[in-house]
Chains A and B, each alone.
Chain A
Amino acid sequence: MRRIGVDVGGTNTDAVLVEDGTVRSTVKTPTTEDVTTGIRTGLAELFGENPDNAAGVDAIMIGTTHFVNAVVQRKSLNRAAALRVCLPACATLEPMVDWPEDLSQIANGGHFLVHGGHEYDGRPITALDEKAVANAGRGMRNSGVTAAAVTAVFSPLTTECEDRAAEILLQEHPDLHITKSSALGRIGLLERENAALLNASLIDLSKKTIDAFQTAIAESGLNAPLYISQNDGTVVDAETARDQPVYSFASGPTNSMRGGAHLADIDEAIVIDVGGTTTDIGHLRSGYPREANNVVDIGGVRTLFRMPDLLSIGLGGGTVVTTDPVTIGPQSVAHRLTDEALVFGGVTTTMTDMAVAANLLELGDANRVEHIGRELARDIMAQAHQILWESVDRMKIDASPVPVLAVGGGAMLIPEHMDGISEVIQVQHFAVANAVGAAIGQISGEVDHIFRDMDRDAFLAAAEQMAYEQAALAGAAPESLKVVDVETIPLAYLPGRSVRVRLRVVGDLPS
């Protein structure tokens, strides 16, 4: 199996060639404005010395932070209309009600609320008002909006209303691109609708970007299928990815965690990525990041969909430190570290300076931090270690010891020994871990469903079946599928024995 993994970041585009799990060659090149040129350059360099390399490639996987950056920077978004199937319920909180003003002004393509939707037990709230849906479709067509999100009450349990509403919208407005909220999962109407609307507002950019990827691959002489990295560390084929840009939002940190774990050859670990300003901490189980169970903020929008559970704290190599009194952060010199830190001739005292003063790191001019004193520096480092340890401990799910995987530039901030941690592993060649994480992606399926009056074995089997079907639909080889994550939550207040089950399976690409 020969695969190429590419990470298209804001600054650099990294490419790796992975053969049966082993990294054969790596390339780092600047990301270009048009994306295509950077990828083409990267691929050309990857094959440069041996053109035969291009021939036997089975798949190319690309991970990109392009779409989440577009939301955060409010760039390249299209207008998206909202159709909510809910009336007479949920009428007063309109779509985009809790979006930041600057974002909704760019993305708001009109709101339409119609009768329909379901109860938690599958009964309809009222019949779907098909006429009103058709009217909404005409309204969208007349206003020139070409993307829409359709959200029905309890659609994660039954997609009936969203499916029918989408059909009708397309009859009235054949050029409309529709995101169904049920395709993004998760119970929580407003937050699921927010995710669907973000997705719809990224559709034009998504088409453009994936087309650019495909052009770059074709121009590089590769004849391999393109897959795109997802939030959960799996991949989907390019056609599916085109319709679901939100599913790539967190692929950066996820690929970095998975790539790091692959390079260290472990699959259970707390992963700590220490950057200049922040430290991201995640939990890998069976090689995949644990998923967030609650609301995730994307550029000021509350969303609820498949995202990794990441704890981000304001501590990094560039974090500003004062010594009298002792304070650590939250300010940071960020990417200006090599100009502003004391050891680099600057005038700002940073965590990096403390590490040098404490003799834990050799970097820059150590004479410039001598005045701090080793005692005080060690004391401050111990405080930083304590902050980090508490955060690591928070990310664990129980008291049993797990290894810590240290990745990123500021790994010296990670103590060698921590309570509840079996060992601290430093990853070598981390620079291309993101691209490696992309290259090793598998395919997944997920369900989030409420079952009533069923035995545990029965509802788990039913959930497994649903997830298998989803993964098979996404192109996974059926015989390779296995369950990687199960969560069961008993539901108080609801009649009968109700239980909410979230279950995820992963499998290999067809070989």
Chain B
Amino acid sequence: MASSGALEKPRQLSLQDLDALALGAWILGTGGGGDPYHKLLNTKMLYREGMFAALIDPFDLADDALVAVVSTMGAPLVGKERIPDAYHALRPVRTMEDFLGRPFDAVMSMEIGGGNGVHPTMVAAFTGYPVVDADGMGRAYPELQMTSFAVGGLSCIPFALSDIRENDVLITTAVDNRWVERLARSLTTEVGSTATICMAPRTGAEIKEHGILHTTTQAIGLGHAVLEARRNHLDPVDAIISVGRGLRLFTGKVIDVDRHATKGFLRGRARIEGLGADAGSEFTVHFQNEFSVGYQDDKAAVMTPDLICVVDSVSGDGISTEAIRYGQRVTVLALPGPDVFKSENGLTFAGPRAFGFDLDFRSVFQDESK
């Protein structure tokens, strides 16, 4: 373990790494998390101006190193019009530093899935703080209390939220993490349904114990694998499964999508008709912003916290729950979910019942090991 206060061996991310990160984060978004494109563009622009982002292994963090946990909150549609601004991403971090009376040592993503997987690279390029190779979800989840830190009993306060105007809010006391989610959600609505946040600072020791480790390199690895497969005219889906140690669950064509918005979430399901080896069979994936449970011919086949990824069968690109539509050729695959969410406690946060499915969690990877 590293000695106190020193950060070792950060590795600068190349432009190719950033492209791969965005692609991999989109896959790990399991249908949600928002398109990383504009955030990727922001970081690339900072690179052009000579500001770079480096990646640090969590085990190279000092136990008392202080890490900013950052992301955007809000509606993806608003994010298309109020496009992400790199300086806005920095604001809640500065607010938190003022409150703490000391600078951070590093920055980390709250969720690796979707746009938030790329988010810390903007802050890193501005500040020079390295990005910690870890996150709190290992994917994307719809609510901010669904993190490994919350499962570990750590509070997400103090909590800083920034409007693009000169409105910065700091929540210093709250009953529990669900209250923070409620308060932050209403604040976000009030400032135009898009805000940047910095959650409770995490120490190096907390990240090593409770973080979901090496998810940034996982996303970059997935992205590179897809890009390389495309260059060599190989199957990008095979590449994802091989690099992500995943399982191919179903290959087919989307034949029906039912989608509706309730209580601030995009819910629904997509039915997929089997092709090739899966001909004659049908697969249904349910979603609440992200894909949550999959049924093959009415039998539960895969469920969160296993990662359910729906990708384009030809390009390997992740398909979001907002964009999935009739006629798409898709492959449903599972990637191993973080162990922390598979404990009895973890399942109350991110198991099938947390998404309204009366199912006992059963991992597709459990079945395999037998």
Contacts and interface: CB of A to CB of B under 8 A. Distances in A.
Contacts of A92: 42, 45, 85-88
Contact of A399 (B86, B87, B255, B259): B255
B164 A89 contact: yes
Given A91-B87, A125-B192, A190-B38, A493 B75 contact: yes
Contacts of A19: none
A90 interface: yes
Given A120-B81, A394-B329, A492 B192 contact: no
Contacts of B264: 492-495
B370 interface: no
Interface residues of A, number: 39
A98 B40 CA distance: 11
Nearest to A494: B75
Given A90-B83, A189-B83, A493-B74, A396 B326 contact: yes
B153 interface: no
A490 B82 contact: no
A38 B269 CA distance: 55
Interface string A297-326: 000000000000000000000000000000
A397 interface: yes
Nearest to B265: A492
B82 A153 contact: yes
Given A490-B259, A495-B189, A189 B41 contact: no
A336 B42 CA distance: 44
Given A394-B329, A397-B326, A399-B255, A189 B193 contact: no
A330 to B, nearest CB: 10
Interface in B149-183: 164-165
A82 B224 CA distance: 36
B45 A120 contact: no
Given A89-B88, A187-B81, A491-B75, A398 B192 contact: no
Interface residues of A, dominant DSSP: loop
A123 B85 CA distance: 20
Contacts of B260: 490
A93 B41 contact: yes
Interface in A71-101: 88-94, 97-98
Nearest to B194: A89
Contacts of B326: 396-399
Nearest to B192: A119
A468 interface: no
Contact of A93 (B76, B77, B85): B85
A190 B255 CA distance: 32
15 contacts: A88-B165, A92-B87, A93-B38, A120-B193, A126-B165, A187-B81, A189-B81, A390-B329, A395-B327, A397-B325, A492-B75, A493-B78, A494-B193, A495-B264, A500-B77
Given A125-B164, A397-B325, 14 more contacts: A89-B82, A92-B87, A119-B192, A120-B77, A125-B192, A126-B165, A153-B81, A153-B82, A190-B38, A190-B83, A294-B323, A492-B75, A493-B74, A495-B264
